[in-house]
Amino acid sequence: MLNFCYRKCNDFFIYSKKTFLNYVLGAFVIAIVVSTIMSPNITIALNGQYNRSDGAISWLCYVALMFIAMNIEYPKNVVRYIMYAMMPFVY
């Protein structure tokens, strides 16, 4: 099972784009994990507080969504349709 996970992660990182922003996101993830481990209260660091702040789990999910959105190849016409759909929110 561990070998399967290693191979899938390795394939994912080989075929993803190698951009500067991906390395910055990786450094940000490392900083989140280290700050969570070094926290005096790990439960609050992981979950956050009610109505106050996001925890490490939320931040890691945000980073994962951004990483996926950055590495998807979108066709040009889809990008144009999204831009036209967002026009009413600009004006």
pLDDT in tens, 28-85: 999 999 999 999 988 888 888 887 778 899 999 999 898 888 877 778 788 888 888 8
Q: What is the DSSP string of 2-17?
A: HHHHHHHHHHHHHHS-
Cβ contacts of 48 within 8 Å, gap of 6 or more: 54, 55, 58
* Residue among 17, 32, 26, 9 at smallest CA distance from 69: 17
Any residues with CB less than 8 A from the CB of 8 and at least 6 apart, and which?
none
Q: Quick one: pLDDT at residue 11?
A: 61
Q: What is the largest CA-CA distance in the chain?
A: 52
Alpha-carbon span 55 to 66, nearest angstrom = 17
CB atoms within 10 A of CB 58: 13
Residue 46: predicted pLDDT: 87
Which of 6-10, 19-23, 57-61 has the weakest average pLDDT?
A: 6-10
